[in-house]
Amino acid sequence: MITLPLDIQLLFAGILFMLGLVGVLVRRNIFFILMSIEIMLNSAGLVFIIASAYWKQPEGQAMFIFILAVAAAEVSIGLALILRVYHHYRTLDVEAINKLKDKE
């Protein structure tokens, strides 16, 4: 439907990916880190859709559906882990959960 150069669309997806990357690096709240990971996954899917529109093949869209399933599974596990961490430590700070050993 649109007639734009390929590089502008790829750069838009790149900007979204970089915003997600900055979010992962900067935030200390584990909840916001999970949200930034969602942004990054979504921008990766956007690249697949752009490639699918460019080559006029359905493969990119099929790959997006798989990314969607991976994101759904990842979010359900991640949110369950966040709830567990919050009940145990009463905080969402990632630096509070850097100890693997159990508290004695």
Partner 1 sequence: MNGFFYIAAGVAIISTIFVITGKNAIHALLYLIVSFLSISVIFYLLDAPFIAALEVIIYAGAILVLFIFVTMMLNIVIEKKKEKKWLKPRMWVIPVILAVTLFVDLVFAVKSVPSHTIEKGIVLPKELGIAIFTRYLPAVEITAILLLIGVIGAYHLGSQKKKVFHRFLEKK
Q: What are the two backbone dihedrals, phi and then psi, of residue 81, each rounded to the nearest 5 degrees?
A: -65, -40
At how many degrees (to 10) do helices 30-55 and 6-26 cross? Answer: 170
CB of 44 to partner 1, least distance (A): 12
Looking at the Cβ atoms of 2 and 100, the one nearer to partner 1 is 2
* 89 forms part of the interface with partner 1 (CB under 8 A): no
Rounded least distance, CB 104 to partner 1, Å: 18
- Tell me the per-residue interface mask from 18 to 47 with partner 1, x by CB under 8 A, - otherwise: xxxxxx-xxxxx-xx-xxx-xx--x---x-
CA distances from 18 to 6, 31, 52, 88, 101 (A): 18, 18, 22, 32, 34
54-67 burial, b for 16+ CB within 10 Å, e for fewer? eeeeeebeebbeeb
**Chain contacts with partner 1 (rule: CB under 8 A):** 1-7, 9-12, 14-16, 18-23, 25-29, 31-32, 34-36, 38-39, 42, 46, 49-50, 52-54, 56-59, 61-62, 64-66, 68-77, 79-84, 86, 91-93
